[in-house]
Amino acid sequence: MKASVIGGGSWGSAFALYLGRQNIKTKLWIREPDIFETARKEGENKVFLPGYIFPPEVSFHHDLEEALSATDLIFVAVPSQFCRTTYSHMAPFLSRDHVVISLTKGIEKKTLMRMSEVMAEVFKPFDQPHLAVLSGPSFSKEVAEGHPTAVVLASAEPDLAKKVQHFISSLSLRVYTSRDIIGVELAGALKNVIAIAAGISEALAFGYNTRAALVTRGLSEIGRLGLKLGAKKETFSGLAGMGDLVLTCTGPLSRNRHVGFELGKGKPLSAVIASMRMVAEGIVTTLSSRQLARRENVEMPISEQVYLTLYKNKDPQNALVDLMSRTLRDEEGSLP
């Protein structure tokens, strides 16, 4: 099989680099003309993945139809806010033989749809490809460096998932399979909100106790919303849930943790966004998760305080006071 990766950001570039190293013929579609030209001439994405030269198995493309032609597996690594438009441009070039795998960890802002739901809706008038999602604790830079990484591939078609699993797994990337698309996508998106809280906590010089509490209680509220939306409980203790949450809340390469850290130091959100070229999905997901929680009548206190800090200029210290002074309760009854 041959592969295409749609999206020349850090994750798309790192994933294409990985596939190429496995001797998989891979086409990497890059939207930005300047980045595409540099990659084509020098074999390197100097903006989003500097220092890593792509193997000859990876080719670079700016034309989407060209990037999708004569390929089998299509991995889409585009920020959630651009996914619907990208899917719409892809749709005419897809067939029932294609497998489209979302690498995006986000929720669409207006519709509150997961990315697989957006794909299904956009592709419906055309030939419907097979759909799957891939998530888990996977910093782009560490995948590019070849550090052992484990992820989960979720699909409603178990045989298809196993086929892709065996095709892309290696000694540096171990792929597990799941049927819980809802849980895998929600966990991957919502953990970014908790990571912002973890960054704020670090900026305020709180200790490991605080971080452990945020991770544990953050997982609890993610799980509550996930279960209400039809996810499986086990998913939240796996790679897409606990695994990715721990990484994003503790790893220095986390963009969302960085956003929280800058906010905790007193920088306004607009200035934080302006200083970043890469997208931190948690900024938008904070809005989406709040809307989902209210729609489903699910209590998500940490996410609510992150929302108030990001969008209502609430002082982070006051947010902590409100979290710590909530009505005391039994832990067992508050877990998902």
pLDDT (tens digit per residue) in 56-89: 999 999 999 999 999 999 999 999 999 999 999 9
Nearest to 248 by CA among 286, 191, 186: 191
Q: Over range 48-59, report the average pLDDT.
A: 98
Q: Between 282-296 and 181-203, two packed helices, what is the crossing angle to 10 degrees? A: 120
Residue 137: count of CB within 10 angstroms of its CB? 21
Q: Over range 152-163, report the average pLDDT.
A: 98
> Does the annotation count 191 as an active-site position?
yes
Q: What is the pLDDT of residue 336?
A: 75
Q: Over range 316-330, report the average pLDDT.
A: 92
Strand 130-135 with 99-102, pairing: parallel
Q: Residue 333 above 90 pLDDT? A: no
Nearest to 336 by CA among 242, 197, 257, 243: 242
Say how far apart CA 241 and CA 66 lie, in whole Å: 36
3-179 falls under which CATH superfamily? NAD(P)-binding Rossmann-like Domain (3.40.50.720)
Q: Residue 112 above 80 pLDDT? A: yes
Single pTM value for the model: 0.96
Question: Hey, what are 14's tokens?
Answer: 């790192």
Instruction: State the DSSP H helix or E strand holding residue 202, giving kind and residue range, or none if neither.
Output: helix 181-203
Q: Where are the domains of the chain?
A: 3-179, 183-334
Instruction: Exactly one of 124, 191, 312, 314 is catalytic; name it.
Output: 191
Instruction: State the DSSP H helix or E strand holding residue 58, giving kind and residue range, or none if neither.
Output: strand 58-61
Residue with tokens 């089998």: 72
Q: Residue 335 above 80 pLDDT? A: no
- Write down the mean pLDDT value for the chain: 96
User: pLDDT tens digits, residue range 176-234?
Assistant: 999 999 999 999 999 999 999 999 999 999 999 999 999 999 999 999 999 999 999 99
Q: What is the pLDDT of residue 334?
A: 74
Strand 26-29 with 99-102, pairing: unpaired
183-334 falls under which CATH superfamily? N-(1-d-carboxylethyl)-l-norvaline Dehydrogenase; domain 2 (1.10.1040.10)
Instruction: Give the model's confidence band at 14: pLDDT under 50 very low, under 70 low, under 90 confident, else very high.
Output: very high
Instruction: Give yes or no for a contact between 270 and 256, defined as CB atoms under 8 angstroms apart.
Output: no
Question: Hey, what are 334's tokens?
Answer: 């508050």
CB under 8 Å to 147, separation ≥6 — which residues?
A: 172
Q: What is the pLDDT of residue 202?
A: 96
Say how far apart CA 10 and CA 282 lie, in whole Å: 16
Question: Hey, what are 10's tokens?
Answer: 């850090």
Q: Over range 289-299, report the average pLDDT.
A: 97
Say how far apart CA 217 and CA 326 lie, in whole Å: 13
Percent of the chain with pLDDT over 70: 99
Q: What is the pLDDT of residue 27?
A: 98
